[in-house]
Amino acid sequence: MTKALIIGGGVAGPTAAMALHRAGVESTVYERYPHAAADIGAFLTFAVNGMDALRAIEANGAVIGLGHPTPTLVFRSGTGRVLGEIPLGGSLSDGTVTHTIKRAELYGALQDAAAGRGIPVEYGKNLIGVQHLSGGGVRALFDDDTHADGDLLIGADGIRSTVRTLIDPNAPEPRYVPVLNVGGYAKAADVPNVPVGPGTFEMTFGNKCFFGYTVLANGEIWWFANPPRRKGQTSPSTDTEWRAELRALFARDNTPANDIIDATPGAISAWSTFDMPRVPVWHRDSMIIIGDAAHATSPASGQGASMAIEDAVILAKCIRDGRDIPSSFETFERLRRDRVEKIVAAGARSSNSKAAGVVGRVLRDAFMPMFLKKMAKGGDKSAGFMFDHHIEWDERVAV
């Protein structure tokens, strides 16, 4: 039986293991964290196309019930004027809509689902190198002086992928995204004048900073902000400094941002984000990268996790139907590259619009209502293609 070594137990790794299991390929997931991975980023939007891909391998049950539905986005300008309202991807045939989920819960659910199918997930295994075996297989070397042998190795090891540079030592570095991410949780009861409207993500293009929040049915508020920050520009380093900076950024906006931030307990901090616009080499010999390792998108696309899941399922189909490992990898790249690079480009455009200067802001606020209206009516295909993606597990891949 073919044996796959999967590096990374985030989103793509456990999903690839489950999809391969369904395709009759044995695998083990190796995760460098000593226990279930949490990583940075408080929560993420999990789009319907990601759910569709999980459904193709009957793993959607692991995620259904996590987080809360957010099928609608409402965009406002800093004055509070509604620029438009759009569906965040419509709904699947069973009524499933896009959800917002805590990252740690998504990781945990996928890891548990893989373990529930009897797939070994080994923690504390940090890949540091590989050796090619004479019979055509590959040996993964870990920093605890252990190793594992397999027929193929899948790098699902995220944006700072080690496998990427093992495949191509000249692989590009991640690209800095010019907005930071700050986020947290508050209670609507502690915030004056926040409408309780479950299902909607309110997004404000403020005068100086983008702000998003959603109110859950249970009265929790989940929020994030994207302070613009040039590469190398200094940032606050303490909770007090961050609160002062956010207060100043939102001072002129007609939003509940500052009230929500004031009601947020715990320390506020920020993190930088990066994307990978084009990684020229995805595979070599019996090694391949998928998910963020191959094509990380800025968080603004809301698609990184869903693309990682699509990759995992489609790669398993390619391996199931391919003549051999190298040709399966080529088929995978042919099927995936165009789509994922378009989404990364769309994410970069969204991030840049959040960091717009004065002129950019005026143009954005003037033209966005028209654009959003078109999107809401389905007349704009620039975002629709992201969500409409569908995978039929039983359909053979043309190799």
- Distance between CA atoms of 399 and 396, rounded to whole angstroms? 9
Q: Say whether residue 150 binds ligand FAD (CB under 6 A).
A: no
Q: What are the angstrom distances between the C-alpha of 330 and each of 26, 43, 333, 335, 399? A: 21, 33, 5, 9, 9
Among 27, 28, 162, 200, indicate the residue that binds ligand FAD (CB under 6 A).
162
Please list every residue from 177 through 196 that binds ligand FAD, using CB under 6 A.
181
Among 4, 5, 6, 8, indicate the residue that binds ligand FAD (CB under 6 A).
8
How many residues of this chain bind ligand FAD (CB under 6 A)? 36
**Smallest gap, in angstroms, from Cβ of residue 41 to ligand FAD?**
4
Q: Say whether residue 70 binds ligand FAD (CB under 6 A).
A: no
Give 191 or 307: the residue with its C-beta nearer to ligand FAD.
Answer: 307
Task: Give Cβ neighbours of residue 77 (< 8 Å, ≥ 6 apart).
Answer: 83, 204, 205, 365
Sheet holding 152-155, edge to edge: 121-123, 26-31, 3-7, 152-155, 287-289, 283-284
Q: Say whether residue 269 binds ligand FAD (CB under 6 A).
A: no
Which of the ranges 18-26, 295-303, 328-336, 380-388 carries the binding residues for ligand FAD, by CB under 6 A? 295-303
Sheet holding 72-77, edge to edge: 82-87, 72-77, 200-205, 210-215, 220-226, 175-187, 270-275
Which of the ranges 9-17, 51-59, 254-262, 379-387 carries the binding residues for ligand FAD, by CB under 6 A? 9-17
**In degrees to the nearest 10, what's the CA dihedral of 124, 309, 217, 252?**
90
With vertex at residue 122, the alpha carbon angle to CA 23 and CA 33, rounded to the nearest 5 degrees, is 120
44, β-bridge pairs: 101
Nearest to 264 by CA among 179, 191, 180, 181: 191
Give 225 or 365: the residue with its C-beta nearer to ligand FAD.
Answer: 225
Give 292 or 365: the residue with its C-beta nearer to ligand FAD.
Answer: 292
Give 33 or 371: the residue with its C-beta nearer to ligand FAD.
Answer: 33
Give 263 or 296: the residue with its C-beta nearer to ligand FAD.
Answer: 296
Q: Say whether residue 59 binds ligand FAD (CB under 6 A).
A: no
**Smallest gap, in angstroms, from Cβ of residue 134 to ligand FAD?**
24
**Smallest gap, in angstroms, from Cβ of residue 33 to ligand FAD?**
5
203, β-bridge pairs: 75, 212
Q: Say whether residue 389 binds ligand FAD (CB under 6 A).
A: no
- Tokens 């902000």 locate to 225
SS3 180: strand
Please list every residue from 87 through 146 that binds ligand FAD, using CB under 6 A.
125-127
Measured from the Cβ of residue 125, the count of other Cβ atoms closer than 10 Å reads 22
- Distance between CA atoms of 399 and 392, rounded to whole angstroms? 16
Q: Say whether residue 40 binds ligand FAD (CB under 6 A).
A: yes
Among 31, 245, 275, 310, indicate the residue that binds ligand FAD (CB under 6 A).
31
82 contacts 204 by C-beta, under 8 angstroms? no
**Smallest gap, in angstroms, from Cβ of residue 106 to ligand FAD?**
8
- Distance between CA atoms of 164 and 265, rounded to whole angstroms? 39
Query: What is the contact mask toward ligand FAD in residues 203 to 242, using x (rule: CB under 6 A)?
Result: ----------------------------------------
Q: Say whether residue 350 binds ligand FAD (CB under 6 A).
A: no
Which residues in this chain contact ligand FAD in the complex, by CB under 6 A? 7-13, 30-33, 37, 39-41, 44-45, 125-127, 156-158, 162, 181, 273, 291-293, 299, 302-306, 308
